[in-house]
A = this chain, B = another copy of it.
């Protein structure tokens, strides 16, 4: 699917604020509501828009600690890797799990209540997994930017 300039701006408006009415989106894009409504439905159907979600203030809710964990594995059989990833993904504390190049194999991002909850995760969940090699924790001290808005200017 090819995206024209209107689609690009529309996606950008929606990733910044999806609670806007079709009418206000249409005004910002210099069109009437019908074409914008149809464009949105098409972007949804084509899967370019995966869904809509509320952004929560995790700190205010009580999830004050983010942690990154860099993991190296020892034995690398394919079947084990799959099992490892499956287990990791099932932990609700884990919000991201990436296989990466560089000095280690996996990079996890966790959001937890506090350091105590983090330690609990390490002891009662992570270290129960076999074949763990090096595990290095990076406690987040402060976050200056954290968004899921991506830069769409390259489409222009």
Interface residues of A (CB under 8 A from B): 1, 3, 11, 14-19, 46-58, 60-63, 66, 68, 85, 88-89, 92-104, 107, 111, 113, 117, 136-155
Contacts A88-B144, A111-B151 aside, 15 further interface pairs with beta carbons under 8 A come to A11-B61, A15-B55, A18-B53, A47-B60, A48-B60, A48-B61, A52-B54, A58-B150, A62-B154, A63-B151, A95-B146, A97-B143, A97-B146, A98-B146, A99-B143
A54-B63 CB under 8 A given contacts A95-B145, A143-B96: no
- Number of copies of this chain that the complex holds: 2
* Closest residue on chain B to residue A97 by CB atoms: B145
Name the B residues within 8 Å of A1 (CB-CB).
60
Contact across chains for B92 and A151 when beta carbons are under 8 A apart? yes
Contact across chains for B152 and A61 when beta carbons are under 8 A apart? yes
Contact across chains for B142 and A99 when beta carbons are under 8 A apart? yes
